[in-house]
Amino acid sequence: MLRRHRPPSLPPLPRARDRSRRSPARGASSVARSARPRPPPTVSPRPAPPAAPDPPRSRVGVARLIVEVTRGERVESRHRGSIAVVAPSGELIASYGDPDEFAFIRSSAKPFQLAPFVASGRFDAYDFPAPVEALAVMAASHSGEDRHVRTVQAVLRAGGLTRDVLACGMHPPYDTETAQRLIRDGEPLTPLRHNCSGKHAAMALHAKAAGWPVETYWQPDHPIQVLALETVATLGGVDASAIVTATDGCGVVTFGMPLRSLALAYARLADPMGVADAALRTSLARIRDAMMAHPELVAGERRRLDTALMRAAPGRLVSKAGAEGVQALGLLAVSRGRHHGTAGVAIKIEDGDGAHRARDVSACESLRQLGILDAAALEGLSAYAAPPIVDPRGVSVGVVRPAIKLA
């Protein structure tokens, strides 16, 4: 039983000496008058310190209702967000909410973080046993399945490196079956299971081939991170100084920019022909093709939206999610209004969408409205496009449904 804490008894404060002037005794009235307290002296107030400048304001409130979650006949929850659809020229084809909403693009930057390695020719300096698979896993947020681990190990061996060089840290595999097996078998976690291990392996190999320090490849002032920033800026159509940088979940730099700029970068990934630098142009095409050829390496075999979308529309799109409700898509063929060609789509869910339900539904609905996914494809994607809310017996009691109308 916890005892209630009682503060220790403090001694009484000493009584202040009465410094008031005392007149000779003139009766009770005189004594009473002399005992009256004096008014306090007038003190000039100190000038107030200058007010701190207001912090930059985000565009909260511009995002619109994007997904509703129902239970029975009523809407129980709502997600807000924004979508931008952009042509490789930078033209805004369609949008919902605020196409200029700020977003840290998180792991959707991975193809562009990889591009300098390929464009420099240093990727081809290594004798990878499966170069296309290597590119796919380097651009991945993989599920930590055994195939992902084997592919990253092969990448590191080609450069004479080990997993100890990876600065991404560790987390349990995204794939539930794999994570449960590791626990059951007592297999320890290693950085190879981290979803970003392929990206980190690529950065370490790039640094080694270039003669730059390998151990510090993750630091923001390292040439690897500077090149990534410049590439994101070039493809997003913004000045590098206008990009807000911070630290991503895996420890390297992440980039903050308008949603429209992320969509533009993915439009140029889908169709890099308008990119001025020939080496960068070729590298983007190779990365795009590798991601579409091996969607299971970009994400995973089970319950991963990126893999499911690229398999549902083979050769028609490249898909890459980012944390906190970010989704980016490069579409190889879109017909909307006067636009006939490639496009990029960027989605941001305002609340971060930790369960991914709003991001998944928004991506599927956007692709439906853009003519990429038909009814049959959406039926196969129902776990992402219209995930049911179920009770303990598996009976549907609600649904997650889109509220999007691209304009």
- Mean pLDDT, the chain, integer: 89
φ/ψ region of 82 (left if φ > 0, alpha if ψ in -120 to 50, else beta) reads: beta
Residue 93 has pLDDT above 50, yes or no: yes
CA dihedral (163, 166, 171, 173) positive or negative: negative
pTM, rounded to two decimals: 0.84
Measured between alpha carbons, how far is residue 212 from residues 97, 104, 126, 138 in Å?
43, 27, 16, 19
Please report whether residue 1 resides in a domain. Answer: no
Element (H, E) at 93: strand 92-96
Task: List all residues 6 or more positions away from 204 whose beta carbon is below 8 Å from its beta carbon.
Answer: 156, 159, 161, 165, 166, 214, 217
Confidence (pLDDT) at 206: 99
Give the CA dihedral 261, 262, 268, 271, nearest 10 degrees: -130
Q: What is the pLDDT of residues 114-170, one digit of tens each?
A: 999 999 999 999 999 999 999 999 999 999 999 999 999 999 999 999 999 999 999
Give the CA dihedral 167, 139, 224, 102, nearest 10 degrees: -100
Confidence (pLDDT) at 388: 94
Residue 349 has pLDDT above 80, yes or no: yes
Please report whether residue 20 resides in a domain. Answer: no
Burial of 247 (0-12, 13-18, 19+ CB in 10 A): exposed
Residue 312 has pLDDT above 90, yes or no: yes
- β-bridge partners, 133: none
Please report whether residue 144 resides in a domain. Answer: yes
Confidence (pLDDT) at 30: 39
Q: What is the pLDDT of residues 350-378, one digit of tens each?
A: 999 999 999 999 999 999 999 999 999 99
Please report whether residue 44 resides in a domain. Answer: no
- pLDDT classification of 338: cutoffs 50, 70, 90: confident
Residue 51 has pLDDT above 60, yes or no: no
Please report whether residue 6 resides in a domain. Answer: no
Q: Which of 109, 107, 95 is nearest to 62 (CA)?
A: 95
What is the CB neighbour count within 10 angstroms for residue 71? 12
Read off the pLDDT of each residue in 41-47 and give the average, rounded to a whole number: 44
Confidence (pLDDT) at 350: 97
Question: Contact at 8 Å (CB) between 199 and 250?
Answer: yes
What is the C-alpha separation between 327 and 351, in angstroms, rounded? 14
Please report whether residue 42 resides in a domain. Answer: no
Confidence (pLDDT) at 52: 41
Read off the pLDDT of each residue in 378-394 and give the average, rounded to a whole number: 96
What is the residue range of 371's domain? 64-402
What is the C-alpha separation between 203 and 218, in angstroms, rounded? 8
Q: Which of 284, 236, 240 is nearest to 86 (CA)?
A: 236
Buried b (16+ CB within 10 A) or exposed e, 30-60: eeeeeeeeeeeeeeeeeeeeeeeeeeeeeee
* Distance, C-alpha 324 to centroid of its chain: 5
What is the C-alpha separation between 403 and 65, in angstroms, rounded? 6
Please report whether residue 22 resides in a domain. Answer: no
- Percentage of the chain exceeding pLDDT 70: 85
Q: What is the pLDDT of residues 279-290, one digit of tens each?
A: 999 999 999 999
Q: How many separate domains does the chain show?
A: 1
Report the CATH number at residue 254: 3.40.710
- Percentage of the chain exceeding pLDDT 90: 83
Confidence (pLDDT) at 102: 98
What is the C-alpha separation between 142 and 193, in angstroms, rounded? 8
φ/ψ region of 237 (left if φ > 0, alpha if ψ in -120 to 50, else beta) reads: left
Please report whether residue 24 resides in a domain. Answer: no
Question: What's the token pair of residue 265?
Answer: 């970068």
What is the C-alpha separation between 54 and 13, in angstroms, rounded? 45
Residue 46 has pLDDT above 90, yes or no: no
Q: What is the pLDDT of residues 254-309, one digit of tens each?
A: 999 999 999 999 999 999 999 999 999 999 999 999 999 999 999 999 999 999 99
- The span from the first CA to the last CA of the chain, in angstroms, equals 65
- pLDDT classification of 15: cutoffs 50, 70, 90: very low
